[in-house]
Chains A and B, each alone.
Chain A
Amino acid sequence: MTGTTADRDTRGRGGRRRTHGGETAMVPPAEFTSYYGRPVVKPAPWTWEIPAYMFAGGLAAGSSLLGAGADLAGHEALRRSGRLTALGALGFSMAALVSDLGRPERFLNMMRTVKVTSPMSVGTWILALYGPPAGLAAAAEVAGMLLPGSKAAPVRLLVAAGRPAGLLAGLFAPPVAAYTAVLLSDTATPSWHEAYRELPFVFCGSAAAAAGGLAAAIVPPEQAGPARRLAVGGAVAEALAEHRMERSMGITAEPLRTGVPGRLMRAARVLTLAGAAGTLLAGRSRAVAVASGAALLAGSVCTRFGVVRAGIASALDPRYTVVPQRERVDRGEPVRHVAG
């Protein structure tokens, strides 16, 4: 084994780096050193369940907001679809979350403690606050549907609990949609951490687009106005935030543009904007509303999968860990704590 071969190996695919003590001090951004090209940080051991969980959580949150607003505005069908969608999506997301754990039977260990430094702990408690009222509101809806006009006390009580429960669920819904962005950003995964400024806006926009699109597809058009507006607003907000995010991330935006995550992100953009356009133009056409809703849901799924997969790709390539840090050091600006 010769020094040259090993040298090439140890330098990753970035090629040679500057020599010490020479005048060639500037490191071109593409060049970096690594240990046999191996990752510096480890990717989260998360499979499809986590992005699916994030999508479903966002859908539930947006739906609860629509349900609460419709309740106040007196749109019965929109309220019903909002409450029921929220429960279904929440159930799915909890199942995905539990199945992702290395030791699913220990799910409840997250209830042992409240830790503000852990977005996962904070998120668990947000869900614990959001889930019961969302479930209660959906139960009230079901009771009202199955036993209309029932005089039985428990049924009347349940139906009456629907409004406060639904409003409470609507209040806890935005944190459900937003915290998953913090969950990703609070890691050493380059393309997640560097996205922390805009990612919550991307996820909240995506949640609004998905929930609005679905509701606009299943609710009679004359009641679907708010859902359509939420969908379009969410889609536009997501697109703008995503654009800004990529510009603020430096080299760690690359994984969002290349490979499978790149394709997912492009699909998300096309589907979301097409869905928003369709929602705007649907008018009374049910078929267009359904197609637009499907596009918005699919776009929201692609956003979550794209962002999650891009992060994992960024952890697997030492470039995204080493280059930004090396540039900081070479600029003479390593991260330091300054008293004050």
Chain B
Amino acid sequence: MAGRNSLFGPVDPAQDAGYEAPPARKGFFTDTSVCIGCKACEVACKEWNLLPDDGFDLLGSSYDNTGALGANTWRHVAFVEQPAGRVAPVSLGMPGVGPPAGALAPSGASAGGLGPPAPAEGAPNLLEALDGGTETEGDGHPDFRWLMSSNVCKHCTHAACLDVCPTGALFRTEFGTVVVQDDVCNGCGYCVAACPFGVIERRKGPAGARNVGIAQKCTLCYDRIGDGLEPACAKACPTESIQYGDLDELRERADARVRRLQDEGVEGARLYGHDPHDGVSGTGAFFLLLDEPEVYGLPPDPVVTTRDLPQMFNRAGMAGLALLAGAALSFLGGRR
């Protein structure tokens, strides 16, 4: 089981976990450049996975009244509002939808020209309903841009949550994903502190809900993908912002997509989590972003904490020996 790169470095996680000839690693490619912020993924996830309601709070953060991923939120749509610059609009190539000519010509300061994406055909135009969204500065350019992004558990190649779980409740599936077994978790909460993306959380409530006291997060719809179905969020996404499939193929698709956006002048376009040499050795759920990760609440350079575990145990061993030696010296060091 413990291979060379078992703590850090590129591996096939399912094989590293001991599966012989596992199926292709599955994942999500979330292309935020075509996200329209409809939250269909959040809703579909809640419904399929029977996630309890957290109650309704107005958070004062644009259209995001969910706030963050957590025990009861396994898909979370972030809404970032940024002042726009003066850059010419660029077509985002929404699947099946052209950019609305002239209307809402998007622009962006840092991403070099991405405005609010056009809504899917037939969908109500959220943008026009938004006071300020269509506000211009007299030259047809909107005065801010929206970034929307559906966040989810990354199903890391090296998943700290899984590494630190003392009960084995978190396990690696044959698809290379990371899943909690509700009936094994004892609610120690270690995984919560270990996740570098702030994903997994111990369910606090509401009172009477299932699995209170137990760590909860996205399973990549383990109960669906085993039957050849796609996860509920990907199924519900109307713009193909959430794409599910074999990770290798998704990575190729993402490479092509990001290259196209960059060729078209979308400077800010970059992939996040796609690189098997990064601090978590790549994620099973990765993203195309239009700005720095931290703008979306993602860590800019996440590292799996267990990468340093050998040194940590080393240092603790030295400290323990020092304590033993100190105690011995206390008895040898004089006769009083």
Binding site for B on A (CB under 8 A): 1-4, 6-7, 9-10, 17, 19-21, 32-36, 38-46, 61-62, 65-66, 68-70, 72-73, 100-104, 106-107, 109-110, 112-113, 115, 117-121, 124, 170, 173-175, 177-179, 181-183, 185-189, 192-193, 196-201, 203-204, 207-208, 212, 222, 224-230, 233-234, 237, 311, 315, 318, 321-322, 325-326, 328-329, 334-339
Which listed residue (A32, A70, A121, A197) contacts B315, Cβ 8 A?
Answer: A197
Binding site for A on B (CB under 8 A): 5, 7-10, 59-62, 64, 67-68, 70, 78, 80-84, 109-112, 130-132, 135, 143-144, 160, 163-169, 184-190, 192-204, 212-215, 267-268, 277-279, 281, 292, 294-303, 305-309, 311-313, 315-324, 326-331, 333-336
Please judge, given known A-B contacts A69-B328, A174-B320, A175-B320, whether A42 and B192 are in contact too, CB under 8 Å: yes
B316 touches A181 (CB 8 A): yes
Shortest Cβ gap from B186 to chain A (Å): 4
Which residues of chain B are within 8 angstroms of A73 by Cβ–Cβ distance?
331
Which listed residue (B109, B294, B334) contacts A19, Cβ 8 A?
Answer: B109
A110 touches B166 (CB 8 A): yes
Which residues of chain A are within 8 angstroms of B295 by Cβ–Cβ distance?
10, 33, 35
A-B CB contact pairs (8 Å), 12 listed: A35-B80, A36-B297, A41-B197, A41-B198, A102-B215, A106-B187, A118-B163, A119-B312, A177-B320, A318-B297, A335-B303, A336-B278
9 smallest CB-CB distances across A and B, nearest first, come from A102-B187, A3-B144, A35-B297, A102-B213, A174-B320, A225-B336, A6-B81, A200-B319, A44-B193
B166 touches A40 (CB 8 A): no
Tell me the complex Cα distance, A95–B55, Å. Answer: 34
B189 touches A102 (CB 8 A): yes
A117 touches B132 (CB 8 A): no
Which residues of chain A are within 8 angstroms of B313 by Cβ–Cβ distance?
182
Shortest Cβ gap from A17 to chain B (Å): 8
Please judge, given known A-B contacts A33-B295, A112-B184, A182-B313, whether A315 and B83 are in contact too, CB under 8 Å: no
B330 touches A230 (CB 8 A): yes
Which residues of chain B are within 8 angstroms of A112 by Cβ–Cβ distance?
167-168, 184
Residue of A nearest to B204 (CB): A45
Tell me the complex Cα distance, A123–B131, Å. Answer: 56
Tell me the complex Cα distance, A187–B296, Å. Answer: 22
A4 touches B83 (CB 8 A): yes
Which residues of chain B are within 8 angstroms of A174 by Cβ–Cβ distance?
319-321, 323-324
Tell me the complex Cα distance, A334–B300, Å. Answer: 9
Which residues of chain B are within 8 angstroms of A201 by Cβ–Cβ distance?
315, 318-319, 322
Which residues of chain B are within 8 angstroms of A315 by Cβ–Cβ distance?
193
A109 touches B299 (CB 8 A): no
B196 touches A188 (CB 8 A): yes
Shortest Cβ gap from A277 to chain B (Å): 17
Tell me the complex Cα distance, A175–B321, Å. Answer: 9
Shortest Cβ gap from A279 to chain B (Å): 12
Which has the most chain A C-beta neighbours within 10 Å: B281, B300, B329? B300
A186 touches B10 (CB 8 A): no
Residue of B nearest to A32 (CB): B294
Shortest Cβ gap from B280 to chain A (Å): 9
Tell me the complex Cα distance, A281–B110, Å. Answer: 65
A336 touches B277 (CB 8 A): yes
Residue of A nearest to B194 (CB): A187
Tell me the complex Cα distance, A163–B3, Å. Answer: 42
Residue of B nearest to A119 (CB): B164
Which residues of chain B are within 8 angstroms of A321 by Cβ–Cβ distance?
299
B186 touches A109 (CB 8 A): yes
Which residues of chain B are within 8 angstroms of A181 by Cβ–Cβ distance?
312, 315-316, 319
Please judge, given known A-B contacts A3-B84, A208-B323, whether A106 and B185 are in contact too, CB under 8 Å: yes
Tell me the complex Cα distance, A113–B64, Å. Answer: 41
Tell me the complex Cα distance, A120–B160, Å. Answer: 13
A196 touches B311 (CB 8 A): yes
Please judge, given known A-B contacts A69-B330, A315-B193, whether A41 and B166 are in contact too, CB under 8 Å: no
B301 touches A107 (CB 8 A): no
Please judge, given known A-B contacts A3-B143, A178-B323, A227-B330, whether A186 and B7 are in contact too, CB under 8 Å: no
